[in-house]
Amino acid sequence: MQAVKLTDKVWWVGAIDWGLRDFHGYATSRGTTYNAYLILADKVTLVDTVKAPFKDEMMSRIASVVDPKKIDYIISNHAEMDHTGALPEVIDEIKPEKVFASKMGVDALNAHFHFDGEITSIQDGENLSLGNMNVTFYETRMLHWPDSMFSYLHEDGILFSQDGFGMHLASSERFDDELDVSLLKYEATKYFANILTPYSGLIPKLVEKLGKLDLSIKMLAPDHGPVWRENISKVIGWYSEWAEQKSSKKAVIFYDTMWQSTARMANSIADGITSAGAIAKVMPLHGSHRSDVATELLDAGAVIVGSPTINNQMFPTVADVLTYIKGLKFKNLIGAAFGSHGWSGEAVKLVHSQLSEMKVDMVADSMSVKYVPRDEDLEKCFSMGKILGGKLIK
């Protein structure tokens, strides 16, 4: 397989995972790429590797431009296995002079692959000479793992940003300007929502740090999806915007249903929201993936959650999504709980309490219905939606 040229000295040598549909619980409907980059400097350097099953694809792309055994250095910007799974075998095969990672990266790689003193630790801001080229490392702790760092190749102005500014998108196009911007924005939003939201507080600091460093970034090369060369300032701007998690007039209603009662309540609430001039995004969980709910929540102002009661519990799909979005630590949301039950009716209280724990501002009373909603129950649901919608458009 062929490498793709970024500059005279730098080549993309990653792998395309066209068929991936589930990335540890994140629905990757467009597949993904695992990006690795080859720098043909005096010291031939490989930046990151790929997921283990894609090692041969990466090696054949490397071999299309240089004998892999000529690689002197490997830089590991991120220890997660979609970028390091191939690393142990690659080290065995090509026997590089040195493998570099951040201090936390050395610990993480050792904990994954039980290496013994094979990885060289480098410091934040440290410079590495590749002979005729130079790389500087910048730690980006918890964006999104402790080990995460960026590597900047001065001569070509390429910032290798590991998962930062990445997206799950399999494509033969390697550059952002070859793809539709709204598609890029959607997949980058989804990536941010599902991977980076909990660390939103660190993003402004990163953007500030990048500004102060005053790097002349000509390419922003992440470990997933296309390389940015046209929309670099745009994607950095999106990150700043998403990190703020500003409220909006969009309400996300997610629910599951057994006999359509909770579904009918959801639709009436949505009607009420719309009547107030706000936007309702209705996501029945029998047809919506948790990672898509998270994507919608990133720029939402409200989360409204419905569950029937099943054997004294909330419905399992609702528990799944609540657990997932709790971990993502969404901010600045108002909300409410609703649902139908036959007897006991614990689910609505359980949902209410989980949303409260997530610091969602529960501005409307919960709405609970026995068995099947009557017209007056649906009117109450409509009113609930109207109250929530009214608060969103203020």
The 8-class DSSP code of residue 228 comes to B
- Is-catalytic flag, 255? no
Determine which one of 57, 73, 78, 139 is catalytic: 78
The yes-or-no answer on residue 82 being catalytic is: yes
- Are 328 and 198 a contacting pair, CB within 8 Å? yes
CB of 141 to another protein, least distance (A): 4
Active site residue 371: no
Degrees to nearest 5, angle at CA 185 with 182 and 186: 85
Give Cβ neighbours of residue 261 (< 8 Å, ≥ 6 apart).
308, 340, 369, 371, 372, 373
Cβ contacts of residue 131 below 8 Å, gap of 6+? 41, 42, 43
Cα(370)–Cα(385) distance, integer angstroms: 19
Whole-number Å distance between alpha carbons of 303 and 329: 13
Catalytic residue among 163, 176, 296, 377: 163
Among 201, 211, 237, 277, binds another protein (CB under 8 A): 201
Residue 151 or 261 having the CB closest to another protein: 151
Q: Which of 73, 139, 144, 352 is catalytic?
A: 144
Binding-residue pattern over the window 57 to 96 for another protein, x denoting contact by CB under 8 A: ----------------------------------------
Nearby residues of 209 by Cβ (< 8 Å), 6 or more positions away: 138
By beta-carbon proximity to another protein, the closer residue of 213 and 363 is 213
Cβ closest to another protein, residue 139 vs residue 296? 139
Segment lying near another protein (by CB under 8 A), choices 139-147, 236-244, 293-301, 304-312: 139-147
163 near another protein, judged by CB under 8 A: no
Interface with another protein, residue 204, by CB under 8 A:
no
Distance, CA of 248 to chain centre:
21
Q: Which tokens is 153 given?
A: 């190749």
Residue 98 φ then ψ, to 5°? -150, 150
The pairing of strands 313-314 and 309-310 is antiparallel
Q: How far apart are CA 140 and CA 99, in angstroms?
A: 19
The yes-or-no answer on residue 163 being catalytic is yes
We find the least distance from the C-beta atom of residue 102 to another protein, in angstroms, to be 9
Active site residue 83: no
Supply φ then ψ for residue 185, to 5 degrees.
-65, -40
Catalytic residue among 17, 48, 57, 80: 80
Our finding on whether 142 is near another protein (CB under 8 A) is: yes
Q: What minimum distance in Å lies between the beta carbon of 280 and another protein?
A: 32
**What does the block give as tokens for 80?**
């997660």
Q: Given the complex with another protein, which of 202 and 363 has the nearer CB atom?
A: 202
- Among 17, 48, 82, 176, the one annotated catalytic: 82
Check residue 24 and give left, alpha or beta (phi > 0: left; psi -120 to 50: alpha). Answer: left
80 is catalytic: yes
| Catalytic residue check, 191 | yes
H or E element, residue 33: strand 32-34
Residue whose CB is less far from another protein, 104 or 355: 104
**Shortest spacing between CB 142 and another protein, in angstroms:** 5
Residue with structure tokens 């695992």?
34
We find the least distance from the C-beta atom of residue 337 to another protein, in angstroms, to be 26
* Footprint (CB under 8 A) of another protein, residues 104-133: 104
Asked if 141 touches another protein (CB under 8 A), the answer is yes
For position 207 contacting another protein by CB under 8 A, the verdict is no
Q: Cα(25)–Cα(225) distance, rounded to whole angstroms?
A: 18
Residues binding another protein: number (CB under 8 A): 10
Identify residue 301 by its one-letter amino acid code. G
Cβ 104 to another protein, closest distance in Å? 5
Work out whether 139 is an interface residue with another protein (CB under 8 A). yes
Minimum CB separation of residue 244 from another protein in Å reads: 16
Q: Is residue 144 annotated as part of the catalytic site, yes or no?
A: yes
What gap in Å lies between CA 393 and CA 251, rounded to an integer? 11
The binding site for another protein (CB under 8 A) comprises 103-104, 139, 141-142, 146, 198-199, 201-202
Would you name the residues annotated as active-site residues? 24, 78, 80, 82, 144, 163, 191, 224
